[in-house]
Amino acid sequence: MIKEAELDPKADGQIPILAQDYLDGDSICKGEPVYVSALVKRGTTDVDMDENVHIMYGHPIDGLVAHVDLTNRKLLKLVDTDHTHIPMESVDYLDPKVTGTTHNCMKPQHIKQPGGGAPASPPRTTSCRARPGRSASASWPRGPHAARHLVQRPRPIHYLDATVVDDFYEPFVIKNATFMYEEDFGTLWKHTDVLASPPTGTMRRQHRFVVSFFVTVGSYRYGFYWYFYLDGRDELDCGHGYQMDCGHDYQMDD
């Protein structure tokens, strides 16, 4: 400890409320007969509310406001508006009897990296020579499958062919024109209830379904990624890229 000093709330202000202050306020109120009488009026003599209780937020004691002096451990004032109903229905969102049957369509997904993280590879440079005079139709195949090797995603990836028409309305098939896959995308939601008995914590992973394709125009490519999330959101991510004639240098810009 460097220095100990007594603070004047009027001059120095109040310190932030601590977790222990919540516990002290709770015990001070429960030791006051007027507070216990207000609970009896609401139909309970259990000051700890242990009966049929899992999550405290589901059983609010409405209409009762206590003003507590934490320093002197005294109840200064009790405001009672005579709202006497305390809901006692269970709100345990982890209990199947309360929430109903959850969806079990999600397959287990294991994310492992046994060897630990690897440092990023240094950028690779290469020299490429442009070849003027070559036509785009001869140098690059039609359709998005020309950029398929750029996609590195978890398996399985499903590829779908597409039938389109050329400038003369003649149909032709683009192999593997569209690809689809599902991937993990972090945390969907998480909650830890430290006041439950016993304390509980749970979380759900976020997954998203991806539908993507590339469009090649000359030496330029345009990538489209549709993302569909478990919480109902959907996003469209578009990017523009180009490939030089050496065949493996590639740059993608949003």
Residues 6+ apart with CB under 8 A from 10: none
Helix, strand or coil, per DSSP, at residue 147: helix
| CATH code of the domain in which 29 resides | 3.10.450.40
Does residue 166 belong to any structural domain of this protein?
Answer: yes
Give the tokens for residue 231: 């919480």
Helix pair 19-30, 33-41: axis angle to 10 deg: 80
Range of the domain at 224: 158-242
Q: Which of 28, 53, 80 is the endpoint of a domain?
A: 80
Does residue 59 belong to any structural domain of this protein?
Answer: yes
Does residue 89 belong to any structural domain of this protein?
Answer: no
Q: Which of 46, 80, 114 is the endpoint of a domain?
A: 80
Structural domains in the chain (count): 2
pLDDT in tens, the chain (254 residues): 788 888 888 888 887 888 899 889 989 999 999 999 998 888 887 766 554 455 666 777 888 999 999 989 999 999 999 888 888 777 777 778 887 877 777 777 676 777 776 655 554 443 334 333 333 332 233 333 333 333 444 558 899 999 999 899 999 999 999 999 988 888 998 988 777 667 778 888 888 999 999 888 888 889 999 999 999 999 999 988 765 444 444 445 55
Global pTM?
0.56
Asked if 179 contacts 151 with a C-beta cutoff of 8 angstroms, the reply is: yes
Does residue 87 belong to any structural domain of this protein?
Answer: no
Q: Which of 28, 63, 80 is the endpoint of a domain?
A: 80
